[in-house]
Amino acid sequence: MATAELNGAAITDFDAFHAACKAALGFPDGYANTMDAWVDCLSYLRDEDGMSKFRLKPNEVLEIVITGAEAMKAAVPDILEEMTYCVAGINERYEDYGEKPALKLTLR
């Protein structure tokens, strides 16, 4: 399973969140630092679109691990909630296309 790790204790606002995601997930230089862009970058992990450093095989899953999740939950619960919502939406999109979900969010 492919894995990307985010340090939740270092995520104190949306700017820090997007910077961490860009680094850990390999988003392109033109990444817009919005949740819409985040969803777009993770919606085609099995295609060759270059929106992430990850290219998943047909049944492979990308696990996004948030270490220090309790600190993130205490400091910016809205970001964690939005991220969880977006992961579910992205997985639903994969299922709509007849594919298996591609993302797993793990809080540590």
Structural domain harbouring 63: 2-107
Q: Which pair of tokens denotes residue 104?
A: 């797993």
Q: pLDDT tens for residues 64-106?
A: 999 999 999 999 999 999 999 999 999 999 999 999 999 999 9
Higher-pLDDT residue of 1 and 5 is: 5
Q: pLDDT tens for residues 25-51?
A: 999 999 999 999 999 999 999 998 899
Q: Helix and strand tally (H, E) in the chain? A: 4, 3
Domain count, the chain: 1
CATH of residue 26: 3.30.370.10
On whether the pTM is more than 0.85, the answer is yes
Q: Is 75 exposed, middle or buried (0-12, 13-18, 19+ CB in 10 A)?
A: middle
Higher-pLDDT residue of 63 and 48 is: 63
Hey, which bits of the chain come out as E strands? 2-7, 62-67, 103-107
